[in-house]
Amino acid sequence: MANIIESKNLDTASLLEINFGPQHPSTHGVFRMVIQLEGEKICGLKPVFGYLHRNHEQIAENLPYAAIMPYTDRLDYVNALANNFGYALTIEKLAGLEVPERAEYIRVIMAELARIVNHITVIGFMLNDLGAFFTPLLYAFRERERILDLFEEITGSRLMNNYFRFGGVKRDLTNENLAAIQKIVSKFPAFLKEFEALLTKNEILCMRCQNIGILPAGVATNAGITGPVLRASGVNYDIRKVDGYSIYNRFDFKIPLGEKGDVYDRFYIRVLEIRESLKILDQALSKIPQGEILNKKALPFIKMPRNFKPPVGEAYGRVESPKGELGFYVVSDGTPQPWRYHVRAPSLINLTVLEEMCLGQKIADAIIILGSIDIVLGETDR
Amino acid sequence: MNIPIESVKKELETRLPDVKLRLIRDSILIENPEDLLRVALFLKESPVFLLDYLSSVTGADYLTFLESVYHLYSMAKKQGPVVLRVRVTKNNAKIPSLAPVYRSAELQEREAFDTFGIVYEGHPDPRRLFMWEEFQGYPLRKDYEQEDADILETADIAWLEARGIKIPDEMKEKAKALQAAGQRAVAEKPEKPRN
Amino acid sequence: MAYTKNKSEVDETLRADLAKKGVIWTSLDFLYNWGRRSSIWPMQFGLACCAFEMIAAACARYDIARFGAELFRASPRQADLMIISGTVTKKMAPQVVRLFNQMPEPKYVLTMGACAISGGPFIDGYNVLRGIDRYIPVDVHLPGCPPRPEALLHGLMVLQKKIASQEIQKAAWYQKGLKREFPIPELGPNGLIPKFNPEVWQPAKRNPRKEHYGQTILVGKKQKAPDLELVVAAKSATPGAAA
């Protein structure tokens, strides 16, 4: 692109401009980068968005509030439950609904299971991008299938769960479900140990990932980066602790922080976060009370969703999704459809620093840097 | 931790006395869009607030005016949010860009331009984000007319015939009728408005 | 490709007799199609959420490798089957048609998921193409949102049945002058030019969405904007829960 060349005063004779086109084997989806190369070194990188722009915000302006819930599943389609959580939180803020105790515990359990699913998928794909074609991914997907079986039993669907409702959740957890979750929680550390033994001190991984794509903490804060990418650069900001939404302030868990902010830190911090999620799950399973799962005040609206008219106002609710801060901004005008609905997508904002991290690196490193930021196109393009 | 919005307004009024502000529910409306940069810089650097993290930049269309809403948080002090609003009319939709101050506004302001047509002055890369360059119109505005993708227009027919593709006659006639009336093929709206 | 019947005039008892003696008598069609359908190489083209079910089908549990389709090629020049999994947007449609043109004959298309068949849940969007079969011919449609990996395997088996019924003598890709390259749409000021290719697809006579909703695309029309400055006194006591 001519403007990259002019703005950087590069010597045009030795430059090669390639298209990391919308269709490429690395499965992050339809994402395109226009890269200027000098030999194998990257001199300029411009991402192009919009190949999966599905007009979620426009569609939501014509639907009743309850009907938007299945569409939020399809935003971050790797772990649908985190998106449901954010949206339910925002509408409860808008309408002033409270959530019963048991439902809060169930929400935390499902959200942490979704976090484990997401992190294990990301680690599998990152190792796939590094060249370990398919073996770590197969192992990661084996664990993922166990958790997806559980989702299917509880919510009815493997991927697009549509489980949360305003004021609670849709279906209760039976004792068999709780026993199944306990089994997964007790067996997972063994799998993580196996994974780590093979990979964490692996020479190829270390040489290819350490000191690549360093992101300084000041740049990260200013550029609005959130999630594991921010924490790998050393900034202690986790919305579960800062906002303490839902009942997260009752659980005892640590926030792993990285030191250098390179690709290796971002990979390892996700392994540590899986461990913390397992701790939260243990505590939640032991303390879950009996009770109802849906606020009685919300029942009439659930039975006739087209009548749900929250009061005029606006609300911004945010959750710590496994990719960063997922925020929903909803403006209501007293009719059953929202006036304005906006999703603050972490994947889009985290890509602000992609060019900076990739400059000066080799072209093969651009792929693993992109993989370590962990984007999903349904969220980036909405 | 939440910051009470009145304390923010009081602090701004003492330090920046010539900026006109108004409280709307839990947000501050900056009456003159040109003051936005000064307010944002002040909030970012003041040791009381230290709002160093711009979480979200959103556009909204309220029929008579367009609005740009900013949500600011502080990562250093773990507090927030502070909500700022700026309003402009559709004919003169120009707001100074916050990209020089907060880099997280870069992509979000491009999205607001793409969907609402708000021009952010001083943005390093003012292009559309999602749609392609030749696309016309700002889709999330309330008066946007979406095309009807089942009716061919004369431009489509000319393109297809140039490549030797046969088109049934009724489609050609409909396209000619549309062009004679000077209209585009747009998706129909409901007869009754929703509110 | 036309769904032709594979007519073979072999006498079954004679075939069984010869088989006992160690002689195999088959038709060239059968052998040729058996080779083709048992080793289909799909092209890796995951667009959206359905891509994850496609990857799960390729992984160890649902194992597409036992159907011979294990090798997902990245390049269209080496693939026979394009599995379009996910929503095709108007911005992406020219690339999909271009990739289809680059595939060598014989080629097949399987649309996976409601979005690729007809726009799916996102049918009202201004950037969503309502079905990729507007521009390229599709062999198998696979509904679901997303379809389970077993459903993808079933779709693959239906395609294998279709391949098994094709005859060499009538095969379109061996005829002279076959041109299976479709014109690539361009990005225009309001959408794609052309909106569809009339030789491949035409709109149906009956429009069920219009009958049900009164409009084909759900676009709303609101006349009054909310006034956020008006705070109703009774509702101001909202509990700070779920903050």
State the complex-level ipTM.
0.91
User: In 3D, which of A27, A20, A35, A24 has the Cα closest to residue C75?
Assistant: A24
According to DSSP, the residues that pair with B67 across neighbouring strands are B60, B87
Express as a percent the part of chain C with pLDDT over 70: 90
Please give the Cα distance from B111 to B115 (Å, whole number): 6
End-to-end CA distance of chain A: 26
User: Is A142 an interface residue toward C (CB < 8 Å)?
Assistant: yes
Which whole number is the average pLDDT over A139-148? 90
The CA–CA distances, whole Å, from C11 to A33, C14, C30 equal 60, 6, 15
Pairing relationship of beta strands C186-187 and C140-142 according to DSSP bridges? unpaired
CB contact under 8 A, A337 and B81: no
User: Is A102 an interface residue toward B (CB < 8 Å)?
Assistant: no
User: Is C174 an interface residue toward A (CB < 8 Å)?
Assistant: no
For residue C241, pLDDT beyond 60:
no
CB contact under 8 A, C186 and B135: no
Which whole number is the average pLDDT over B16-20? 85
Residue B70: predicted pLDDT: 92
Please give the Cα distance from A319 to C179 (Å, whole number): 53
Task: Give the highest mean pLDDT range of A130-139, A156-165, A291-300.
Answer: A156-165
Please give the Cα distance from A242 to B48 (Å, whole number): 18
Which of A57, A225, A314 faces B140 most closely, judged by CB atoms? A57
Please give the Cα distance from B105 to B128 (Å, whole number): 14
Q: Between A371 and A13, whose confidence is greater?
A: A371
CB contact under 8 A, B194 and A335: yes
Q: Work out the burial of residue A108: count CB atoms within 10 Å of its CB; fewer than 13 is exposed, 13-18 middle, 19 or more buried.
A: buried
Residue numbers of A between 150 and 179 with CB closer than 8 Å to C: 158-160
Confidence of residue C236 (pLDDT cuts 50, 70, 90): very low
Please give the Cα distance from A319 to A317 (Å, whole number): 7
Confidence of residue C94 (pLDDT cuts 50, 70, 90): very high
Phi, psi of A319 (to 5 degrees): -130, 165
This prediction has a pTM of: 0.90
Q: Which parts of chain B fold into alpha helices (H)?
A: 5-15, 36-45, 105-116, 154-162, 169-181
CB contact under 8 A, A237 and B78: yes
CB contact under 8 A, C219 and B146: yes
Residue C154: predicted pLDDT: 93
Residue C4: predicted pLDDT: 43
End-to-end CA distance of chain C: 58
Q: Work out the burial of residue B108: count CB atoms within 10 Å of its CB; fewer than 13 is exposed, 13-18 middle, 19 or more buried.
A: buried
Which whole number is the average pLDDT over C113-132? 89
Q: Which chains would you list as touching A if contact means 3+ CB atom pairs under 8 Å? A: B, C
Q: Which chains would you list as touching B if contact means 3+ CB atom pairs under 8 Å? A: A, C
Residue C8: predicted pLDDT: 60
For residue B179, pLDDT beyond 60:
yes
Cis omega (within 30 of 0) on the bond before A70?
Answer: no
Please give the Cα distance from C217 to C236 (Å, whole number): 38
Residue C10: predicted pLDDT: 67
| Shortest Cα–Cα distance, A145 to chain C (Å) | 8
Which whole number is the average pLDDT over A76-97? 90
Which whole number is the average pLDDT over B11-28? 86
DSSP letters, C163-191, are HHT--STT-GGGSTT----PPPPEE-SSS
| Shortest Cα–Cα distance, A382 to chain C (Å) | 11
For residue A168, pLDDT beyond 90:
no
Residue C234: predicted pLDDT: 39
CB contact under 8 A, C197 and B165: yes
Residue in chain B closest to A327 (alpha carbons) equals B56
| Non-local CB neighbours of A159 within 8 Å, separated by 6+ positions | A73, A77, A80, A148, C49, C52, C53, C146
Which whole number is the average pLDDT over A299-310? 76
Q: Work out the burial of residue A249: count CB atoms within 10 Å of its CB; fewer than 13 is exposed, 13-18 middle, 19 or more buried.
A: exposed
Please give the Cα distance from A272 to A293 (Å, whole number): 31
CB contact under 8 A, C198 and B155: no
**Angle between helix C149-164 and C50-58 (nearest 10):** 80
Residue A319: predicted pLDDT: 92
Task: Give the highest mean pLDDT range of A276-290, B21-35, C172-186.
Answer: A276-290
According to DSSP, the residues that pair with C83 across neighbouring strands are C110
User: Is A377 an interface residue toward C (CB < 8 Å)?
Assistant: yes
Which whole number is the average pLDDT over A357-371? 88
For residue B67, pLDDT beyond 70:
yes
User: Is A48 an interface residue toward C (CB < 8 Å)?
Assistant: no
Residue in chain C closest to B137 (alpha carbons) equals C190
Which sign does the torsion angle of CA C42, C45, C46, C47 carry?
Answer: negative
Please give the Cα distance from B71 to B54 (Å, whole number): 6
Which sign does the torsion angle of CA A42, A46, A47, A50 carry?
Answer: negative
Q: Between C28 and A240, whose confidence is greater?
A: A240
Q: Are A264 and A203 in contact (CB under 8 A)?
A: no
Report chain B residues whose CB lies below 8 A from the CB of C222.
142, 193-195
Which sign does the torsion angle of CA A359, A361, A362, A366 carry?
Answer: negative
Which of B2, B132, B171 faces C198 most closely, judged by CB atoms? B171
Residue C2: predicted pLDDT: 40
Tokens for A377? 């196109």
Q: Between A298 and C38, whose confidence is greater?
A: C38
Which single residue is written with the structure tokens 């459903």?
C151
According to DSSP, the residues that pair with B119 across neighbouring strands are B94
CB contact under 8 A, B139 and A58: yes
| Shortest Cα–Cα distance, C204 to chain A (Å) | 24
According to DSSP, the residues that pair with A249 across neighbouring strands are none
Phi, psi of B66 (to 5 degrees): -105, 150
User: Is A335 an interface residue toward B (CB < 8 Å)?
Assistant: yes
What is the average pLDDT value for chain A, to the nearest integer? Answer: 87
CB contact under 8 A, B104 and A333: no
Q: Give Dmax over CA atoms of chain B in angstroms.
A: 73
Which of A59, A137, A160 faces C125 most closely, judged by CB atoms? A59
User: Is B92 an interface residue toward C (CB < 8 Å)?
Assistant: no
B to C CB pairs, distance under 8 Å? 104
Q: Which chains would you list as touching C if contact means 3+ CB atom pairs under 8 Å? A: A, B
CB contact under 8 A, B152 and C198: yes
For residue A363, pLDDT beyond 60:
yes
For residue C3, pLDDT beyond 70:
no
Confidence of residue A299 (pLDDT cuts 50, 70, 90): confident
Return the minimum-mean-pLDDT range out of B3-7, B96-100, C52-56: B3-7
Return the minimum-mean-pLDDT range out of A47-61, C52-66, C213-227: C213-227
Return the minimum-mean-pLDDT range out of A258-267, B138-147, C6-15: C6-15
Name the 3-class secondary structure at C134: helix
For residue C107, what is the DSSP state? Answer: -
Confidence of residue C1 (pLDDT cuts 50, 70, 90): very low
Which whole number is the average pLDDT over B29-54? 88
User: Is A305 an interface residue toward B (CB < 8 Å)?
Assistant: no
| Shortest Cα–Cα distance, A182 to chain B (Å) | 34
Q: Which parts of C38-148 fold into alpha helices (H)?
A: 50-58, 93-102, 114-118
| Shortest Cα–Cα distance, B155 to chain A (Å) | 24
What is the average pLDDT value for chain B, to the nearest integer? Answer: 87
Which of A55, A58, A349 faces B104 most closely, judged by CB atoms? A349
Q: Are B151 and B178 in contact (CB under 8 A)?
A: yes
User: Is C239 an interface residue toward B (CB < 8 Å)?
Assistant: no
Stretch (H or E) spanning A87: helix A80-95
Residue B7: predicted pLDDT: 87
Residue in chain B closest to A224 (alpha carbons) equals B104
Pairing relationship of beta strands C81-85 and C42-43 according to DSSP bridges? parallel
CB contact under 8 A, B159 and C190: no
Which whole number is the average pLDDT over C64-86? 88
Residue in chain C closest to B188 (alpha carbons) equals C215
Which single residue is written with the structure tokens 């679901």?
C144
Distance of CA A257 to the CA centre of its chain: 18
What is the average pLDDT value for chain C, to the nearest integer? Answer: 82
Residue A30: predicted pLDDT: 87
Which sign does the torsion angle of CA B103, B109, B114, B118 carry?
Answer: negative
Residue numbers of C between 56 and 95 with CB closer than 8 Å to B: 91
CB contact under 8 A, C198 and B160: yes
Which sign does the torsion angle of CA C53, C58, C63, C69 carry?
Answer: positive
